[in-house]
Amino acid sequence: MSKTGTTKTAVVLFNLGGPDSLDAVKPFLFNLFSDPAILGVPAPIRWFLARYISAKRAPTARGIYQLLGGRSPLVPETEAQGRALEHVLGHGFKCFIAMRYWHPFTREAVAAIKEWGADEVILLPLYPQFSTTTTGSSLKEWHKQAKALGLTVPTRFACCYPTEPGLIAAMADLAKAGYDEARAAGKPRILFSAHGLPKSVIDKGDPYQAQIELTASSVARETGIGDLDWAICYQSRVGPQEWIGPSTEDELDRAARDGVPVVIVPVAFVSEHSETLVELDIEYRHKADQLGIPAYVRVPALGCHPAFIRGLADVVHRPQAFTGQACKLLGRSCSAC
């Protein structure tokens, strides 16, 4: 406790991270594919595979980040969210960023929290829907680094919040604005686009897909639009293995056949990064134009939307209230619970 008698609470924002320069692209990719949550093969094989994949993908990835000014916007986006959250939480709270695959790494966050002298820690993933490949991996890394650096203060964890009211209200607000914009070209179809996962991950019990469905259905209902045409789709498919679907590309094909405008809502991304600013804004927009889709409107990520930030503050104040809540709604349990 500080000299003023105020409890010092560190709020740790978990996120993926991104390269902060073009030179960082290859090591960022290596860190990503070195994670056993991403490549579930024995360590020696994973190391060689990570070297091979990162070297092979680096040139294409550098081209993507060149379009973004030579770096990922994810850290400054997360910093802005942290400042907005601190403003709502008030005195005694401080946000720290723990990126999984590039600076500021989890170890850096742990060291900064120790130096600040936190009395307690709240772990807050900026992944509303739990997956072993995102929140699960970040949590394991947190425990590893906290133990290594001797951070032993009381720590609470919010595993997921796919139906948190502020999250849903903010996403519905943005979706309605996009819907109104697209209406000039006909009755729109809302496509809730999420990052894809290999089907094998879901088959092992990962709750991500089921929680995406919870979020999308809640947002669709919250819009209040009668007879809303909407669907869920998944982007960023890579490699030969089977991925969950339908893909965003397939849904664009269907929209073209049906002759309807589309409104793309990032349902799993709360910050702008390469998958929204390049994949959704450039690549899929180009595909929509080629297909002759009447209108293509991409809704912004939640960013610092006031309702979303207030929702995050509620999660910080009541993390235990959200742990297991999604599983109760789904009538199941998962590793996060």
Q: Which long-range contacts (CB under 8 A, 24 or more apart) does 81-86 make?
A: 81/13, 81/126, 81/270, 81/271, 81/303, 81/304, 81/309, 81/312, 82/11, 82/13, 84/304, 84/309, 85/11, 85/13, 85/309, 85/312, 85/313, 85/316, 86/11
Q: Is 249 annotated as a binding residue?
A: no
Beta carbons of 213 and 228 less than 8 angstroms apart:
no
CB atoms within 10 A of CB 122: 22
Q: Is 275 annotated as a binding residue?
A: yes
Residue 304 region, left (φ>0) first, then alpha (ψ -120 to 50), else beta? alpha
Q: Which residues contact 276 (CB under 8 A, 6 or more apart)?
A: 266, 269, 298, 301
Residue 44 preceded by cis peptide, ω within 30: no
Strands 9-15 and 189-195: unpaired
Closest residue by Cα to residue 128 from 34, 313, 10, 269:
269
List, as residue ranges, the binding site.
195, 275
Indicate the annotated binding residues for Fe(2+). 195, 275
